Amino acid sequence: MEILIALIIGFLAGLHTSTWGMYKDSPHEGFTYRKYFRSTVIGAMVGTVVWLLTRIDLTQASQVVVLFGFTYGVERAILEFYKTFLREEDQSKYFIPMQFHVKGKIVQERGRRLIIGALYLLGVVTAMAGVYGLQKTEWNVSGLVVVLCIGTVGGWISAVGGAWKDAPLEGFELLKFFRSPVIAFIYALILANFTNQYLFICVGALGYTVATIETYKTFLFPSKPRGKFAGKPILCPEMLKRRQKFVPLYVAIWAAILTTLVIAFLTPHQGLLQVRF
């Protein structure tokens, strides 16, 4: 039964990203179920594979919270890598190119882009390997210091990558740059109550950070186009109304994970840090 639970958790994590992605992009790009369920399918696969590799105990609410965040982070990493380095797509519809670019100039040569992508992937894998390796060392520091060190790694990767992509065209914003690392640290503090596995804390914190920031940008400012579509016309105005039908689903997923989080704190749990209510 736990593998089914893992699949459902991954499915919901992917469905969450599918929904905010559709909500912000569909007025400019239109809607297809194939694209909408892309993240959903990947999320379900990631959640299942992670459980098969770790056998995390999904009968505990705390571990459901951990797996949801970790799956979210991995799914986002996979999709962003695909869109940046692998996908071939007409970039003229974007203000900020989605393919790898240098100061707004797209690297058109596929071979060069693949080499850069491989180097980027190597850097990310090395960072994650460092986090994992740190688990094997004997740290004579408090759990809070450990969380500060590992919990913001994903946030810094997101901040640096976002600045590289957006700043040349949008301008550099100091508060925006530090937003991801700060929020990731807050989520790492939460996750560290439920697990002592550094990778779960690091990647899970990134996953919840993305979910939070995208919820804020997408639903609190629904009339403001995302940076990549700044100045671009709305080609599918019918989606401005149709997309509203997906909002209850999005809210329901947030409500489910927040309810699970409360249950996790109210039931016995173990991690690097211990906070109980």
Task: Summarize the confidence of residues 207-236 as an average pLDDT.
Answer: 85
| The pLDDT value given to residue 274 | 65
> Distance (Å, rounded) from C-alpha 22 to C-alpha 19?
5
Highest mean predicted confidence (pLDDT) among 106-110, 140-144, 198-202: 198-202
| The pLDDT value given to residue 276 | 44
What residues are paired with 139 via a beta bridge? none
Strands 105-106 and 101-102: antiparallel
> Distance (Å, rounded) from C-alpha 187 to C-alpha 65?
11
Mind giving me the DSSP string for 77-104?
HHHHHIIIII-----TT-SS-SS-EETT
What residues are paired with 102 via a beta bridge? 105
| The pLDDT value given to residue 88 | 86
Question: Which backbone phi and psi does 50 adopt, to 5 degrees?
Answer: -60, -40
Whether residue 72 is predicted with pLDDT greater than 80 in this model: the reply is yes
| The pLDDT value given to residue 277 | 39
The residue behind tokens 């186009």 is 225
Q: Which parts of the chain are beta strand (E)?
A: 101-102, 105-106
Domain ranges of the chain: 2-266
pLDDT over 90, % of the chain: 61
Tokens of 234: 């709305």
The number of CA neighbours under 13 Å toward the Cβ of 25 is 17
> Distance (Å, rounded) from C-alpha 225 to C-alpha 241?
15
> Distance (Å, rounded) from C-alpha 272 to C-alpha 277?
17
CB 119 within 8 A of CB 84: no
Mind giving me the DSSP string for 122-184?
HHHHHHHHHHHHHHTS---S-HHHHHHHHHTHHHHHHHHHHHHHHHHHH---HHHHHHHHHHH
Element (H, E) at 165: helix 153-170
> Distance (Å, rounded) from C-alpha 206 to C-alpha 184?
6
| The pLDDT value given to residue 90 | 81
Whether residue 221 is predicted with pLDDT greater than 90 in this model: the reply is no
- Of the candidate ranges 68-82, 148-162, 232-246, 250-264, the one whose mean pLDDT is the lowest: 148-162
- Res. 49 pLDDT band, cuts 50 70 90: very high
| Among the listed residues 162, 215, 256, the one whose alpha carbon sits nearest the alpha carbon of residue 24 | 215
| Among the listed residues 143, 122, 141, the one whose alpha carbon sits nearest the alpha carbon of residue 201 | 143
Q: What is the mean pLDDT of the chain?
A: 89
Question: What three-state secondary structure class fits 42?
Answer: helix
In terms of residues, how long is the chain? 277
| The pLDDT value given to residue 39 | 96
Task: Summarize the confidence of residues 194-215 as an average pLDDT.
Answer: 95
Indicate the DSSP class of residue 246: G
